[in-house]
Structure 1
Amino acid sequence: MKTLSLTAWFWLTLAGYLAIAGGTGLAFAEETHIMIRARAVDAKFIGSGVGGMRAVVEDPKTGVILDEGEIRGSTGDTTLLMRTPPERGQQIATEATAGYLATVNIERPRLLRFRIWGPLGAHQSQQEAAVTSWVIPGRDIIGDGIIINLPGFIVDAWTHVSRDNQVHIHAKITMMCGCPIMKDGLWPPDRLEVKAILTQNGEKLREITLPFAGPANLFQGKTSIKEPGIYEIIVYSYDKTTGNTGANQTMVQIASE
């Protein structure tokens, strides 16, 4: 009967151990925490005020989800975020600032994708954004954590028709964090181009400007439609300075007399 040399025994033992470790995938895994936050472009953090955001941690190659949850909390400190430029290295999130503390068990440094979707309370304006980052086992990324910027506006549009076939168009528009658009505020309405595009059967008929109606977030305009039928109205908000853009569509039916 042959006996194994010490070297052969070592390599066989190591191979068996690695096979067991590889099978579980967690033999050397360490619990690692990552704070995920969503911030509206040119505004504050996105949190519970607009229904929160969905946060997902996944493998960018396989799509396997390692953790997921909801970003909840406040929009953050207005002065710190919007009025006082932070110094390099200064934390901009407070204890109450919206975030989701994800937990992953990883056995080696991994490149992970962090994906957000929402706002969950504004279905017509939901958007997605993602970023990838290396994560090291046991090396938490907390404090400000990973901040993902989400562009756009929350736009909610509706109409009503008066007896003379005047179509009155209304739009409530806020920043993605729910922050208000108002005169003399941090987000003044005169920076925005707000219009309604009237279409029928895929054909553009005209654009209608929607002036600010106040006191906050509300824009209104009207147009006359004489021909009976079903029309689509797409309301959009656009900020040339930041590129923030949002839109919402609604339908209107003009009855025959």
Structure 2
Amino acid sequence: MKLSITRLFFLLSIFIFTGLNAQQTSVMVRAKAKDAKFIGSSIGGAKIYIKNAETGEILAEGLTTGSTGNTDKIMNSPWKRNEDLSEENTAGFLANIDIDEPVFVTVEAHAPINKKQATVISSTQLWLIPGKDITGDGVVLEVPGFVVDILSPQTHERIPETNEVQIMANIVLMCGCPVTEGGIWDANQYEVKALISSEGEQIQELEMTVGEKPSTFSAKKNLNAGLYGITVYAFDPVTGNTGVDKTNIIIN
């Protein structure tokens, strides 16, 4: 019994000593869409993971929440060294991690987390040092791409052969920023096409044009009876941003 009590006190002393030496270290992590704004609450956020790079242990995880940021500051104003692009309400995830020695970590952003066909992983690595907070803009991970959602036709929709197939897609930046003619994210800069395939072979390529409703592109086509796959892609030749969505339909 004495040995058990002695061992218990020994373990408690180690725990207390370790706890006293551990320091809370704050790390702000933000996900920023390439050529656009921060990924926040309006599109469901980015899922952030901070992991011990050696062991893979997750030290912190959470969602970026808040606004996409100040459009004029981010997109129109010249950037100066050491000047934050973020503001108080700009989307981010603040992690508070207790560490007692420097830890080399991997920081990942899975974004936008609620759009699975568009979600990509952006990551970086850095050292965290006990008590040395990383705040302000913090760790900013760039997330390239477009979110492409095919609105019409619906998945596995049956369409009479006599009907024209209306292909419609919604296309936004990874932060949810809208695509419009002549806007900050100019629809005329982007290549948007629908690829129609049957039995695994591409048979049609249609140019999609922007409509009156922001971020909406469409094309029309008559198809013979059969099974078809439709792929819609968006491509920005200036930044290299890309995005894709797919669906399947039946013409009968």
State the Cα deviation string for residues 178-225 of structure 1 (Å, max 9, x = none).
111112210110110000111123222121111111231010002221
> Post-superposition shift, 1:230?
1.9
1:246 and 2:243 correspond: yes
1:62 and 2:55 correspond: yes
Residue in 1 that maps onto 2:151: 158
CA distance in 2, matches of 1:61, 1:217: 43
Partner SS, residue 125 of structure 1: coil
Task: State which drifts further: 230-239 or 202-211.
Answer: 202-211
> Post-superposition shift, 1:21?
5.5
- The alignment yields a C-alpha RMSD, in angstroms, of 2.0
Instruction: Give 5+ residue unaligned stretches, structure 2.
Output: 1-9, 154-158
1:118 corresponds, among 108, 111, 124, to 111
Residues 52 and 71 in structure 1, CA contact (< 8 A), matched pair in contact too: yes
2:142 corresponds, among 142, 146, 149, to 149
Partner SS, residue 117 of structure 2: helix
> Post-superposition shift, 1:25?
6.6
Residues 161 and 251 in structure 2, CA contact (< 8 A), matched pair in contact too: no
Partner SS, residue 72 of structure 2: helix
Task: State which drifts further: 201-210 or 64-73.
Answer: 201-210
Give the percent of matched residue pairs that are identical in Structure 1 and Structure 2. 37
> Post-superposition shift, 1:124?
2.6
Residues 31 and 46 in structure 2, CA contact (< 8 A), matched pair in contact too: yes
Q: Match of 1:168, as an amino acid?
A: Q
Structure 1 runs of 4+ with >4 Å offset: 24-27
2:129 corresponds, among 121, 128, 136, to 136
Residues 31 and 104 in structure 1, CA contact (< 8 A), matched pair in contact too: yes
CA distance in 2, matches of 1:133, 1:229: 53
> Post-superposition shift, 1:92?
1.1
Count of aligned positions? 236
CA distance in 2, matches of 1:67, 1:127: 19
The change in CA–CA distance for 1:230 and 1:162 in structure 2 (over 3 A counts) is: closer
TM-score between the two structures when normalised by the length of structure 2: 0.88
CA distance in 1, matches of 2:181, 2:165: 26
Q: Match of 2:143, as an amino acid?
A: L
CA distance in 1, matches of 2:160, 2:181: 29
The structure with the larger Rg is 1
CA distance in 1, matches of 2:49, 2:241: 24
Partner SS, residue 72 of structure 1: coil
Residue in 1 that maps onto 2:102: 109
Task: State which drifts further: 230-239 or 156-165.
Answer: 156-165
